[in-house]
C-alpha cells in the first residue's frame, strides 16, 4: 500500500541535504552514463565492421594467386602462379560444397568509359553471373549478367548507380550503349552495393573480356559460396583447394606466398567473438564505475542512519517494526539510485542519438543501445539501490530504543 507519510519523510530528508544527495547521485548517474556511451560506441564499431562484411557474402572463400617463394620439382622460386578458366571449371565440378561461383578478370590500364560527351574512369571487372550473390549487389534497374551473356560472348555491361549518375545524369540508362575503351557495350542494368569501393566499377561477361581485351584464358582470382558454416570443415576445404591447385600449377603446398585464400566466414566469426569480448570488457568497466557509486550511496545512507539514530529509537519505542525501518531506508536508497541512474541513462541515450547522424563513417555506424540494455540497466539500478541501502537499513533496524536515547 502507498504510504504517503513515508514518502513525505523521504522528501524532507532529501530537501534538507540537497548538495549531499546530488553529489551522491552524480556518481551513480556518471557510472550509468559511461556504461551507455561505451556500449553504444561498441555497437557503433560493430555495426561499421559488420557493414564491411556485407560487401561480400559471409559464407564465401576467395582464392588469389601469388608468386612462389620456394623451389619445387627443380623449378626456382619467384614464378608467377596464373589461374586460368580450367581452375574455375574444375573447382565448380570438384565435388566440394560449392554453391555460387565466379572467376574474375580485371581490365588493367586506361579504363575509359564514355557516353555521348561524358567520359569517366572506373574499374572494369569481368565476372560470371554469380558475382551478384558473392558481392551482395542489388539490381535496381534492368538485370545483372546471366549465363547466356557469358556463353554468347555478349557485349553487355551492368553499371553501378555511381557510374549511372556520372554518365547518364537523369537519362534512363538501360538499353543505351556506352563505350568501354572505345568498344560499344549495351547497358543491361544498374546495381547498388554496400561497399563504396564496389560502386566504383562496372561488370561485363568474363568470356567477352577475355576475347575483346586479350585476356586469353587467364583469370585474376576466383570466389565461391558454400552452405557450410563449420570452421573446421571450411579449413579442410581450404587445405583440399591448396593441394589441388599446387598439383595443377606445380608449387609446394606449404608455400604461403604462391596462393592465398580468404575465408570470409572464419573472419566474420573471429570478428564477432572479438566484439563479444569487447562487450564483456565494457560491462566490467561500467559495472566497476557503478559499484563505486553504490559504495558512495551506501556510505551516505550510513551517515543518514547515524544522524537519525535518536529518531529511529523513538520510532521503535512507539511501536515501529524493524520492517518499517528497513523499508524507509531502502526506499530512500533505491529512490536516489534509480533517479540518478535514469538521468545518466537518458543523457547517454540522448547523446548517442545526437551523435549518430554525424558519425556515419566506414568503420563506425549508428552508435546505439537496444531495449535489452535499457531493461538490464533498469534492473541493475533497482538492485544497486537495494544493495546500497541494505546494510544501513539492517543497522537501523538493529538499533535498540534505550541505546539510541542514551547516546543522546
Tell me the per-residue pLDDT of 244-277, one tens digit each, with 9 for 90 and over.
999 999 999 999 999 999 888 777 777 778 878 8
pLDDT of residue 211: 92
Residue 380: is its pLDDT beyond 80?
A: no
Q: What is the pLDDT of residues 272-318, one digit of tens each?
A: 788 788 878 877 877 777 777 777 777 777 777 776 667 777 777 77
pLDDT of residue 2: 57
Q: Residue 218: beta bridge partners?
A: 84
CB atoms within 10 A of CB 155: 18
Give the Cα separation of 330 and 390 in Å (integer).
6
Which has more pLDDT, 84 or 369?
84
Mean pLDDT of the chain: 83
Give the Cα separation of 63 and 9 in Å (integer).
73
Q: Picking from 79-88, 162-171, 380-389, which range would have the lowest pLDDT averaged per residue? A: 380-389
pLDDT of residue 184: 96
pLDDT of residue 18: 79
pLDDT band (50, 70, 90) for residue 15: confident
Which has more pLDDT, 103 or 331?
103
Averaged pLDDT, 350-358: 84
Beta carbons of 129 and 144 less than 8 angstroms apart: yes
Highest mean pLDDT (candidates 10-19, 46-55, 114-123, 364-373): 114-123
Beta carbons of 9 and 323 less than 8 angstroms apart: no
pLDDT of residue 57: 65
Averaged pLDDT, 195-210: 91
pLDDT of residue 173: 95
Residue 64: is its pLDDT beyond 90?
A: yes
Residue 353: is its pLDDT beyond 70?
A: yes
pLDDT band (50, 70, 90) for residue 405: low
pLDDT of residue 120: 93
pLDDT band (50, 70, 90) for residue 50: confident
pLDDT of residue 90: 92
pLDDT of residue 1: 43
Highest mean pLDDT (candidates 211-220, 313-322, 332-341, 381-390): 211-220
Give the Cα separation of 375 and 393 in Å (integer).
26
Residue 408: is its pLDDT beyond 60?
A: no
pLDDT of residue 371: 67
Q: Where are the domains of the chain?
A: 4-54+269-406, 67-257
Q: What is the pLDDT of residues 107-144, one digit of tens each?
A: 877 789 999 999 999 999 999 999 998 888 999 999 99
Amino acid at each position: 500500500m502507498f504510504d504517503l507519510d513515508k514518502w513525505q519523510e523521504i522528501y524532507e530528508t532529501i530537501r534538507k541535504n540537497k548538495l549531499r544527495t546530488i553529489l551522491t547521485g552524480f556518481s551513480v548517474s556518471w557510472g550509468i552514463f559511461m556504461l551507455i556511451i561505451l556500449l553504444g560506441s561498441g555497437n557503433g564499431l560493430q555495426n561499421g565492421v559488420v557493414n564491411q562484411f556485407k560487401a561480400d557474402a559471409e559464407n564465401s572463400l576467395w582464392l588469389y594467386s601469388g608468386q612462389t617463394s620456394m623451389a619445387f620439382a627443380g623449378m626456382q622460386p619467384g614464378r608467377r602462379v596464373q589461374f586460368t578458366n580450367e581452375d574455375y571449371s574444375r573447382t565448380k565440378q570438384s565435388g566440394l560444397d560449392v554453391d555460387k561461383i565466379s572467376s574474375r578478370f580485371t581490365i588493367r590500364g586506361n579504363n575509359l568509359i564514355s557516353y555521348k560527351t561524358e567520359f569517366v574512369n572506373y574499374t572494369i571487372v569481368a565476372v560470371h553471373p554469380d558475382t551478384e550473390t558473392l558481392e551482395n549487389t542489388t539490381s535496381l534497374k534492368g538485370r545483372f549478367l546471366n549465363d547466356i551473356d557469358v556463353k554468347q560472348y555478349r557485349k553487355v555491361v551492368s553499371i553501378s548507380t555511381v557510374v549511372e549518375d556520372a554518365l547518364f545524369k537523369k537519362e534512363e540508362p538501360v538499353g543505351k550503349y556506352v563505350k568501354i575503351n572505345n568498344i560499344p557495350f549495351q547497358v543491361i542494368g544498374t546495381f547498388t552495393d554496400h561497399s563504396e569501393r564496389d560502386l566504383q566499377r562496372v561488370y561485363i561477361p568474363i568470356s567477352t573480356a577475355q576475347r575483346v581485351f586479350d585476356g586469353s584464358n587467364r583469370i585474376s582470382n576466383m570466389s565461391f559460396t558454400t552452405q557450410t558454416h563449420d570452421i573446421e570443415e571450411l579449413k579442410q576445404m581450404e587445405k583440399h583447394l591448396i593441394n589441388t591447385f599446387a598439383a595443377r600449377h606445380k608449387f609446394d603446398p606449404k608455400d604461403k606466398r604462391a596462393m592465398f585464400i580468404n575465408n570470409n566466414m572464419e573472419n566474420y566469426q573471429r570478428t564477432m567473438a572479438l566484439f563479444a569480448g569487447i562487450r564483456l570488457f565494457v560491462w566490467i568497466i561500467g559495472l566497476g564505475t557503478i559499484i563505486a557509486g553504490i559504495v558512495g550511496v551506501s556510505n551516505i545512507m550510513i551517515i543518514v542512519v547515524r544522524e537519525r539514530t535518536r529518531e529511529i529509537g523513538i520510532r521503535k519505542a512507539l511501536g515501529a517494526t524493524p520492517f518499517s525501518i528497513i523499508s524507509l531506508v531502502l526506499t530512500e536508497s533505491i529512490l536516489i539510485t534509480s533517479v540518478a541512474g535514469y538521468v545518466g541513462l537518458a543523457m547517454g541515450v540522448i547523446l548517442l542519438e545526437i551523435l549518430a547522424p554525424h558519425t556515419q563513417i566506414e568503420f563506425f555506424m549508428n552508435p546505439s543501445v537496444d531495449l535489452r540494455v535499457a531493461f538490464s540497466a533498469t534492473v541493475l539500478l533497482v538492485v544497486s539501490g537495494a544493495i546500497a541501502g541494505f546494510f544501513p537499513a539492517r543497522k537501523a533496524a538493529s538499533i535498540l530504543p534505550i541505546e539510541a536515547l542514551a547516546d543522546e
